[in-house]
Amino acid sequence: MKPEPISLHTVCGLEELGHHSTRGVTHVLSILDPGWPEPDAFGSYDAHRRTTLRFHDIIDPIPGQILPEPEDVAAILTFGRDLSGERRDKIHLLIHCHAGISRSTAAMTMLLAQAHPDLDEAVVVARVHDLREKAWPNARMIAFADEALGRKGRLSEAVRRLHALQLRVRPHLDGLMRELGRGREVDAALAG
Whether 5 has a pLDDT exceeding 70, the answer reads no
DSSP secondary structure of the chain: -PPPS-SEEEEE-GGGGGGGTTS---EEEEEE-TTPPPPGGGGGSPS-EEEEEE--S-SS--TT-----HHHHHHHHHHHHHHHT---S--EEEEE-SSSSSHHHHHHHHHHHHH-TTS-HHHHHHHHHHH-TT----HHHHHHHHHHTT-TTHHHHHHHHHHHHHHHH-TTHHHHHHHTT-HHHHHHHHH-
Is the four-CA dihedral 162, 165, 170, 173 of positive or negative sign? positive
Whether 69 has a pLDDT exceeding 80, the answer reads yes
Task: Answer yes or no: are the C-beta atoms of 103 and 138 closer than 8 Å.
Answer: yes
Go through the chain and tell me how many residues it has.
192
Task: Answer yes or no: are the C-beta atoms of 6 and 26 closer than 8 Å.
Answer: no
pLDDT computed for residue 2 by the predictor = 44
The candidate with the shortest Cα–Cα distance to 99, out of 156, 60, 138, is 138
pLDDT computed for residue 29 by the predictor = 98
Task: Provide, rounded to the nearest whole percent, the portion of the chain with pLDDT above 90.
Answer: 90
- 17 CB-side CA count, 13 A: 22
CATH (one of 1.20.1740.10, 3.90.700.10, 1.10.10.10, 3.90.190.10) for 6-151:
3.90.190.10
Which has the higher per-residue pLDDT, 192 or 179? 179
Find the distance separating the first CA and the last CA of the chain, reported in whole Å: 30
Query: What number is the average pLDDT over the span 171-175?
Result: 96
Domain ranges of the chain: 6-151
